[in-house]
Amino acid sequence: MHEETATETSALVDATDQSSEEHRLVEEDVSRGLHYWIHPRVWLPPLVAFGLLALGWQLYAVHNRFIIPTVPQILTQLVDHPGLFWRNLLVTLQEAVVGASIGMLAAFVLAMGMCQVRLVERALMPLAVMINVTPIIAIAPVLVLAFGFGMTPKYIVTAVIVFFPFLINSLTGLRSSDPQAHDVFTTLHASKWEILLRLRLPSSLPFLFAAARICVPLSVVGAVVAEYVAPGKASGLGSLIETAMSLSDLKTVYASVLVLALLGIGLSAVVVVLQRRLLGWHQTAPRRP
């Protein structure tokens, strides 16, 4: 009798093994990339949501032609002037990427310093807080006055806007390492630098990526704000909006907004892909639904 139960249990175990095996295979299949996007359950729900939004927009726009352009009008604008939007997109992209890189790198280096030397934190954190609470839109015109109409003030505004969120997350991340792992390193007499490099830095990666997912879209905001106050050579999507607005060219305004949204989505997607590649070991690595 005992034996019978044993066989049954083992059969049961076999069955679960098999189903988990299948599950794994499906997941692997899914993670193969293009394959994944073929499933309707993946692309259908967002498509329906966007479709409904566009429909609502269209219905409203048809009755308010002078305030809002219709969906076909916006799309036509894009198709008719691809060069115009592409050129300005590249400018804004460059401002966002360069500015965000400078801001995040500076924030991370400062966070390492703060983590290693308490005095650095005590001295510089109030300053960082002050920069953060000052509305960037208020500083931007002054920066233009100081640095001219070129790219520099745009990089600065973008860098400043991502600096603080990245600083706080980096610092939290560097301090998030397992205290017991820290004990192991200490009993090996590892230097502060070795602990930073081999324990703190890798431990902070999940926090850095969480911050990047906030900061990268934020950098587009920074770039557009800077273009608003310093149109410069009148390039960039922010400048384009500003100019089109003054000409009451609403089709161009909304088309630019759409391109900005797509730019944000594209940049965020790059972060997610990097996170998935580099952070497979961590539970916060994004999984596909």
Contacts with another protein, residue ranges (CB under 8 A): 178, 180-181, 183-191, 194-195, 198-199, 202, 205, 281-282
Alpha helices in 117-200 (DSSP H): 118-133, 136-147, 152-174, 179-187, 192-195
- State in angstroms the smallest separation of the CB of 177 from another protein: 9
Cα–Cα distance, 63 to 111 (Å, whole number): 53
Alpha-carbon torsion (271, 173, 161, 248), positive or negative: positive
What Å distances lie between residue 36 and 10, 29, 144, 166, 272, CA to CA?
A: 34, 7, 47, 32, 16
By beta-carbon proximity to another protein, the closer residue of 202 and 232 is 202
- State in angstroms the smallest separation of the CB of 183 from another protein: 5
- State in angstroms the smallest separation of the CB of 285 from another protein: 11
By beta-carbon proximity to another protein, the closer residue of 8 and 178 is 178
By beta-carbon proximity to another protein, the closer residue of 205 and 210 is 205
- State in angstroms the smallest separation of the CB of 62 from another protein: 55
By beta-carbon proximity to another protein, the closer residue of 190 and 258 is 190
By beta-carbon proximity to another protein, the closer residue of 68 and 205 is 205
Q: End-to-end alpha-carbon separation of the chain, Å?
A: 44
What Å distances lie between residue 146 and 107, 137, 149, 239, CA to CA?
A: 23, 15, 9, 19
Which residue matches tokens 């690595």?
285
By beta-carbon proximity to another protein, the closer residue of 25 and 79 is 25
What Å distances lie between residue 178 and 38, 168, 221, 275, 284, CA to CA?
A: 41, 19, 36, 21, 16
Joined tokens for residue 25: 């295979």
By beta-carbon proximity to another protein, the closer residue of 136 and 195 is 195
Alpha helices in 64-135 (DSSP H): 71-80, 82-116, 118-133
Q: List all residues 6 or more positions away from 224 whose beta carbon is below 8 Å from its beta carbon.
A: 92, 236, 237, 238, 241, 260
